[in-house]
């Protein structure tokens, strides 16, 4: 009589069969749960080779000087008018080509002048030169020697590191407060006229004016239709860049020539509207109309 075949048992394993072998000393109990700690050997990070160290320094310098190189390039593009084949003005070119606001390009160019000045005084190899335009911006209000002194103070305050723009601005503000004189306006500066409670300025409120003379507590300013002497409380600076102020002076001279020619009233209304511009440039349409008027008085 044949015996029935035996059933093959399935292979089974317990959780203990699957656990790695560990040192009992590395096992601790916490909240009735087994916690296993496995020692992992530390991975050794290889030191940089001399060539890698040189490459790192070279690349860091590129990052640090990126804003400086951009400002230098913009200055050359403007000086040589290399934009003239596609754009009428440098500002339009920068906006279309780089997406810059009108102010941004000039800030970068101003920063390069300060950077060049700081290079003469500061060590280029100790990572204490500016790395961004914003760190330099407050220095543009100072004389070259003051720029160097303030930057060194800012580096010291930052613990020997490259200071933030906030640190630099704080030191500059303290210097300005100590040396401030009653009238801080400068020749050629563009301001807004504040009529306030002065009845003589009726109709002039909101107009722009260009400083032509700086007195102790007042300024003589030129507007599109004449000159005025105003107390400081009746002026507010637009804080335009130097290039913007120069452009406003040109616009002012052009408007004044047309105004003094005695054209009809409708023209006077147009000129009056230009006299209240809150920007340092003319739109395309404003430029075209003014050119027509200029050609009319010349003809």
Question: Are residues 189 and 181 in contact, defined by beta-carbon separation less than 8 angstroms?
Answer: no
Q: Based on the domain organization, do 136 and 244 belong to the same domain?
A: no
How far separated are the first and last CA of the chain, in Å rounded? 136
pLDDT band with cut points at 50, 70 and 90 for residue 178: confident
Q: What average pLDDT does this structure show over 180-185?
A: 74
Q: Based on the domain organization, do 160 and 78 belong to the same domain?
A: yes
pLDDT band with cut points at 50, 70 and 90 for residue 194: very high
Q: Does the residue 202 lie in any domain?
A: yes
User: Which of 36-40, 77-81, 248-252 has maximum average pLDDT?
Assistant: 248-252
Q: Does the residue 200 lie in any domain?
A: yes
Determine the structural domain holding residue 153 and report its residue range.
Answer: 55-179
Q: Based on the domain organization, do 173 and 60 belong to the same domain?
A: yes
Q: Based on the domain organization, do 174 and 59 belong to the same domain?
A: yes
Q: Does the residue 131 lie in any domain?
A: yes
Q: What average pLDDT does this structure show over 206-228?
A: 90
Tell me the C-alpha to C-alpha distance, in Å, between residue 198 and each of 58, 231, 236, 276.
61, 10, 15, 18
Q: Based on the domain organization, do 197 and 294 belong to the same domain?
A: yes
pLDDT band with cut points at 50, 70 and 90 for residue 40: low
Last residue of a domain, one of 144, 162, 179: 179
Q: Does the residue 22 lie in any domain?
A: no
Query: What pLDDT, in 10s, does the model give residues 118-145?
Result: 988 766 545 588 989 999 998 987 888 8
- Residue 245: CB partners within 8 Å, gap ≥ 6? 188, 189, 190, 210, 280
Q: Based on the domain organization, do 222 and 285 belong to the same domain?
A: yes
pLDDT at 54 over 90: no
pLDDT reported for residue 1: 46
Q: What average pLDDT does this structure show over 49-61?
A: 84
pLDDT reported for residue 15: 44
pLDDT reported for residue 261: 82
Q: Does the residue 285 lie in any domain?
A: yes
The whole-chain average pLDDT of the chain stands at: 82
Q: What average pLDDT does this structure show over 51-75?
A: 85
Query: What pLDDT, in 10s, does the model give residues 2-18?
Result: 455 554 444 444 444 44
> What is the Cα–Cα distance from 115 to 152, expressed in whole angstroms?
13
Q: Based on the domain organization, do 175 and 206 belong to the same domain?
A: no
How many domains would you assign to the chain? 2
Q: Based on the domain organization, do 125 and 211 belong to the same domain?
A: no
Q: Based on the domain organization, do 150 and 252 belong to the same domain?
A: no
Q: Does the residue 123 lie in any domain?
A: yes
pLDDT reported for residue 35: 60
pLDDT reported for residue 27: 45
pLDDT at 20 over 50: no
Q: Does the residue 157 lie in any domain?
A: yes
Last residue of a domain, one of 114, 144, 179: 179
Q: Based on the domain organization, do 161 and 236 belong to the same domain?
A: no
Does the predicted TM-score (pTM) go above 0.75? no
> What is the Cα–Cα distance from 113 to 55, expressed in whole angstroms?
28
Query: What pLDDT, in 10s, does the model give residues 230-254?
Result: 888 899 999 898 889 999 999 999 9
Return the number of other C-beta atoms located less than 10 Å from residue 101's C-beta.
12
Angle between helices 265-274 and 242-260 (to 10 degrees): 170
Q: Based on the domain organization, do 222 and 295 belong to the same domain?
A: yes
Backbone torsion region of residue 81, taken as left when φ is above 0, otherwise alpha when ψ lies between -120 and 50, otherwise beta: left
pLDDT at 26 over 80: no
Q: Does the residue 186 lie in any domain?
A: yes
Last residue of a domain, one of 141, 157, 179: 179
Q: Based on the domain organization, do 113 and 221 belong to the same domain?
A: no
Query: Residue 254 is part of a domain; what is its CATH number?
Result: 2.30.30.30
The torsion angle over the Cα atoms of residues 154, 157, 161 and 167, rounded to 10 degrees, is: -50
């Amino acid at each position: 009589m044949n015996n029935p075949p035996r059933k093959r048992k399935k292979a089974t394993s317990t959780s203990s069969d699957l656990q790695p072998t560990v040192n009992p000393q590395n096992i601790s109990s916490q909240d009735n749960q087994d916690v296993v700690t496995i020692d992992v050997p530390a991975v050794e990070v290889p030191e940089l080779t001399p060539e890698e160290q040189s490459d790192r320094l070279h690349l860091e310098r590129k990052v640090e000087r990126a804003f400086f190189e951009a400002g230098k390039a913009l200055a050359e593009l403007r000086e040589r008018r290399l934009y003239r084949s596609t754009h009428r003005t440098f500002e339009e070119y920068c906006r279309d080509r780089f997406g810059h606001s009108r102010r941004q390009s000039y800030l970068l160019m101003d920063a390069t002048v300060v950077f060049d000045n700081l290079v003469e005084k500061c060590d280029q190899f100790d990572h204490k030169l500016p790395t961004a335009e914003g760190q330099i911006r407050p220095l543009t209000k100072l004389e070259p020697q003051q720029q160097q002194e303030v930057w060194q103070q800012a580096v010291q305050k930052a613990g020997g590191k490259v200071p933030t723009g906030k640190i630099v601005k704080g030191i500059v503000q303290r210097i300005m407060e100590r040396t401030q004189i009653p009238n801080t306006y400068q020749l050629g500066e563009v301001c807004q006229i504040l009529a306030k409670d002065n009845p003589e300025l009726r109709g002039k409120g909101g107009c722009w004016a260009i400083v032509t003379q700086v007195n102790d507590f007042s300024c003589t300013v030129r507007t599109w239709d004449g000159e005025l002497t105003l107390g400081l409380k009746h002026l507010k600076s637009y804080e335009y860049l130097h290039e913007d102020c120069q452009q406003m002076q040109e616009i002012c001279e052009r408007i004044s020539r047309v105004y003094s020619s005695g054209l009809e009233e409708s023209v006077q209304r147009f000129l009056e509207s230009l006299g209240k511009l809150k920007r340092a440039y003319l739109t395309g349409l404003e430029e075209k109309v003014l050119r027509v008027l200029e050609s009319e008085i010349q003809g």
